[in-house]
Structure 1
Amino acid sequence: MNRNFYYALGRPLSPLYSFAMRVREQFYLNGVLASAALEVPVISIGNLTLGGTGKTPLVQHLARLLQRSGFHPAIISRGYGGATKERINIVSDGGRPLLDASYVGDEPRMLAETLPGVPVLTGIVRKLPAQKAVEMGADVLLLDDGFQHLAVRRDLDLVLFSADRLAGNSRVFPGGDLREPVRALYRANAFVLTGTDESNIARAVSFRNLLHEKFPGRPVFFSGSRPVGLVRQVKDGRRLPAQADDLAGRRCFAFCGIARPESFQKTLQQLAVEPAAFKALPDHHAYKEQAVQQLVHAAEKAGADCLLCTEKDLVKLRGFALALPLYGVIMQAAPESGLDKLALDCASQRLPAPA
């Protein structure tokens, strides 16, 4: 049964969930529920829709941008998929990663591995790791997946939409793809349409025009996504540089555990890789020994001589003995320069809330 079937079943409950989210929003806006103000600027990168919109590559991009510009950013995440129940988890103190993906979640671990010098902290009550990050010397915070996390005030609220899926069916969960009613977008300062390319640019332009009409004064930026490298990961987790030519003539078994596996398939097309087979796993998939060996067996059955996955999957495959070489694709966000300026302006001086 596909997602639309379950959305049809959940549609009668959508008004109730939508009402609950609106009441929750009003409680925060009216001060019934407390929203913590921090000493440093906070930039939130979030969604209105369920599923992936390319938040992690954009968080990486903004963290590197802020570093290059002389700031000391830190990343605050809930740590979805991690086993920890601790109130504050220091995934990285800016040096080497300190906690494993199974404990704190795949995305925080990936950010810790790929952003040297940037502290990464997680916790369900995000004001606590946020306060800790400030104590550690951070002068700007990136709140990963923060649009619905109203318990922390933010100076810049970025809401991302996938250029392929946009607003989905425009219905609120459990009858559709939206986490909140569309009216919640009035809280946003700016929108980013991620994964824009030649195949979806016409729809992205139309959606941008709609956002300008419905939410005037809020800029809309396009952000592409491109593969910038390839690595081979060995058993102890070390990553060895590889070239796209290393896959020439090879039969790859491609797999991923991300919200939108079709985005990885598009990446493979960009790399001119035609996999021997492709396996889509659930988002934040927890790799266990038996399941990993089943993947290897499926690859061998398909006649593959190597494995190929996303960087997010790589961080969870450390320590497994694999009979086939394991490669990962390194992606990078490429937003319009106006978004960079907006983020740097925010880091330099707090921005006013949208009218």
Structure 2
Amino acid sequence: MNSKQFYFSLGRPFSPLYSLAMHFRALLYKKNYFKTHRVSVPVISVGNLTLGGTGKTPVVQYLARLLQQNGYKPAVISRGYGGTSRKPVNIVSNGFELLLDAKEAGDESCFLADTLPGIPILTGVVRKLPAEQAIVMGANVLLLDDGFQHMQLARDINLVLFKTDVLAGNSRVFPGGDLREPVTALKRATTFVMTDVHQENHDRADQFASLLHAKFPEIKTEFARYEKKRLVQLDSNDTLSPSELTDLNQVPTYGFSGIAHPQAFQQTLKKQQLNIVGFSSLPDHVKYTDQRVATLLHKADKVGAEALLTTEKDLVKFKEKTLPLPLYALRMETKFDPTFDQYILKEIQR
């Protein structure tokens, strides 16, 4: 039994209480005892039912680029998890320049700001406030990052993501399991998205999609896959410079990651035919203190590494840090079938 399973076993007696509380909260919103704020532009929520990562950020990236390429002016609204700023509205990026660093805004918000030029990124705990500010700044579509449980802001498209290799975990509600709410909450969704679908797990994705269809026949399921694009390097100016995978083919490289499922990133690296000589799995949203960086460098030195490789989410936390080894990130992008694009654009137009 790992530590996660151990804590879930301790929390299992309290799971029905938390489940009931979340169900009652949703009911109060449905009956309009708790008010839902509707803004003047379409809102697309990207969220999940489970704890941990399901690939929300790459899907937000995909949607932002899709909308931008089709003439819309999207903005991303996030809570800013892990950021120290407590202002009601934080403009992480106005679309042209980064205004807050990862410490203030949170690593995911800065990652989106770095990789989505021309698209404003705003954060705030009460998300209707940054949402309204984004509209003032010219946005005509809003992307609500990790918004499924944030029912205070109305949405027109409600995407719920499941990571194919994890699905619904043990199907129990926190603190006895992986679910943030009871399964009945999925009735609020407009579309389910299975993420990180690949050849080895496609049958698993099909089976879970069939299960969802049996329980929620009116809600369709889409599949999303990841494609590696290239490497990016954090240069001396703290900007992301493109590089090629072949640049690291013969270089002893130490990998590390502080995301929800670092083992998945480790497996991805193994498939790239890179010379990975060591790997460290770190906690999600890890803070790279001087001590932690020194530990990473010590481990890399012990195995003879000549370069470091991580995720783009981790990479943005290394701005203004001086390292003795070159630091790269593997850029991955989400891909959907064209029918998904057509669905999103049609709903937005409507």
Normalised TM-score (structure 2): 0.98
Structure 2 CA distance, aligned partners of 1:329 and 1:198?
A: 20
**Match of residue 105 from structure 2:** 104
**Match of residue 305 from structure 2:** 304
3-state DSSP class of the match of 1:316? helix
Q: Report the aligned-residue RMSD.
A: 1.0
3-state DSSP class of the match of 2:318? coil
Structure 1 CA distance, aligned partners of 2:222 and 2:273?
A: 28
3-state DSSP class of the match of 2:45? strand
**Match of residue 49 from structure 2:** 48
1:155 to partner: Cα distance: 0.4
3-state DSSP class of the match of 1:315? helix
Instruction: Map Cα deviations across residues 39-94 of structure 1 (whole Å, 9 max, x no partner).
Output: 00000000000000111111001000000101000000000000010000001111
1:338 to partner: Cα distance: 2.1
3-state DSSP class of the match of 2:317? coil
1:68-217 counterparts in 2 under 5 A?
A: 68-217=69-218
Structure 2 CA distance, aligned partners of 1:237 and 1:302?
A: 27
Structure 2 CA distance, aligned partners of 1:347 and 1:34?
A: 23
CA contact (8 A) 2:47 2:147 kept: yes
Instruction: Map Cα deviations across residues 104-140 of structure 1 (whole Å, 9 max, x no partner).
Output: 1001101111111111000000000000001111111
Aligned amino acid, residue 257 of structure 1: G
Structure 2 CA distance, aligned partners of 1:207 and 1:47?
A: 15
**Match of residue 8 from structure 2:** 7
Give the % identical residues: 51
2:13 matched to 1:17? no
1:273 to partner: Cα distance: 2.4
1:231 to partner: Cα distance: 1.2
**Match of residue 313 from structure 1:** 314
1:274 to partner: Cα distance: 4.5
**Match of residue 224 from structure 2:** 223
Structure 1 CA distance, aligned partners of 2:274 and 2:223?
A: 26
Q: Could you list the runs of 4 or more consecutive aligned residues of structure 1 that deviate by over 2 angstroms after TM superposition?
A: none
1:238 to partner: Cα distance: 2.0
CA contact (8 A) 1:235 1:318 kept: no
**Match of residue 34 from structure 2:** 33
Structure 1 CA distance, aligned partners of 2:206 and 2:35?
A: 38
CA contact (8 A) 1:268 1:274 kept: no
Instruction: Map Cα deviations across residues 199-253 of structure 1 (whole Å, 9 max, x no partner).
Output: 1111100000011110012110100011111012124312222111111111111
**Match of residue 252 from structure 1:** 253
1:31 to partner: Cα distance: 0.8
3-state DSSP class of the match of 1:240? strand
**Match of residue 285 from structure 2:** 284
Structure 2 CA distance, aligned partners of 1:272 and 1:198?
A: 18
CA contact (8 A) 1:76 1:144 kept: yes
Instruction: Map Cα deviations across residues 13-62 of structure 1 (whole Å, 9 max, x no partner).
Output: 00000000001001111111111011000000000000001111110010
CA contact (8 A) 2:250 2:274 kept: no
3-state DSSP class of the match of 1:297? helix
CA contact (8 A) 2:56 2:161 kept: yes
CA contact (8 A) 1:221 1:338 kept: no
1:266 to partner: Cα distance: 2.6
**Match of residue 323 from structure 2:** 322
Normalised TM-score (structure 1): 0.97
Structure 2 CA distance, aligned partners of 1:145 and 1:270?
A: 29
Structure 2 CA distance, aligned partners of 1:243 and 1:285?
A: 27
CA contact (8 A) 1:231 1:241 kept: yes
1:293 to partner: Cα distance: 1.6
Aligned residues: 349
Structure 2 CA distance, aligned partners of 1:59 and 1:93?
A: 17
